[in-house]
Amino acid sequence: MPIDSLVRMLACVKADGRSVSHALIIDAAAGATRRVGRSEILTRITISGLVPGDIVLVPDEAAPTGGAISRLLSTTSGTDQNRMCDGIIVRKAGENDGSIVFDIGYFDLKSGNPSGYEGQFISAQCFFKSYVISILKSFYAKNCRIGKERFVVLHTDKSGRAFVRKPPTRPTRDSANRPGRAVKLIVEDGQTVSRSQIIG
């Protein structure tokens, strides 16, 4: 089964929908700088609604040092090639022409006015679309491809108010399908977000 293969091959699996329905995502970098009373600092969210066929990846939890995803890649190149978004939801969407189809939801936690996410999304997309899919084919004899991709930035209200605007249930068909055009959802620290709000 392809989900079993992903769980075996990746060190950053935070949650498997076959055994849990929620995943707590902690942004360690934001948590280290959090000050009491600063509601605009986003340190954690909970992803809910996970079902069998879903896994949640948290690259930072398996990163060797300082959030870098690989010791093989430079961290001083001036690009985000060695930094990823805070999380990736992978869903087995079905099979088509002998290939297993995955839908992918990339998400990042930002505080206040969100910026700097596009390169992180591109790096995560390259990692999954090129590297992970190739490993599944070469070492696990699984023909896989990406169906739908969505990019979502979860961020706090830059004013620091506790008010939270209710986001749409799921991204629209034409939105969030490129790293630079991510859907932005306003949340507050500790909020629970449904997986359907990220992956559709």
How far apart are alpha carbons 41 and 114 in whole angstroms?
A: 11
User: What are the mean pLDDT values of the chain's consecutive 10-residue runs (200 residues total)?
Assistant: 88 95 85 52 93 93 66 65 86 92 95 87 92 93 93 82 48 67 91 94
Structural domain total, the chain: 1
Q: Which residues are 144's β-sheet partners?
A: 100
Task: State the residue range of the domain holding 108.
Answer: 2-199
**pLDDT given for residue 179 in this prediction:** 92
**pLDDT given for residue 163 in this prediction:** 43
- Helical H runs in the chain? 2-9, 28-33, 59-62, 118-126, 133-140, 195-199
Handedness of CA 130, 46, 32, 7 (dihedral sign): negative
**pLDDT given for residue 111 in this prediction:** 86
* HSE-up of residue 63 (Cα within 13 Å, Cβ side): 21
* CB 8 within 8 Å of CB 57: no
How far apart are alpha carbons 13 and 26 in whole angstroms?
A: 14
- pTM of the predicted structure, to 2 decimals: 0.86
**pLDDT given for residue 162 in this prediction:** 41
**pLDDT given for residue 13 in this prediction:** 95
**pLDDT given for residue 104 in this prediction:** 96
Q: What DSSP character marks residue 127? A: I
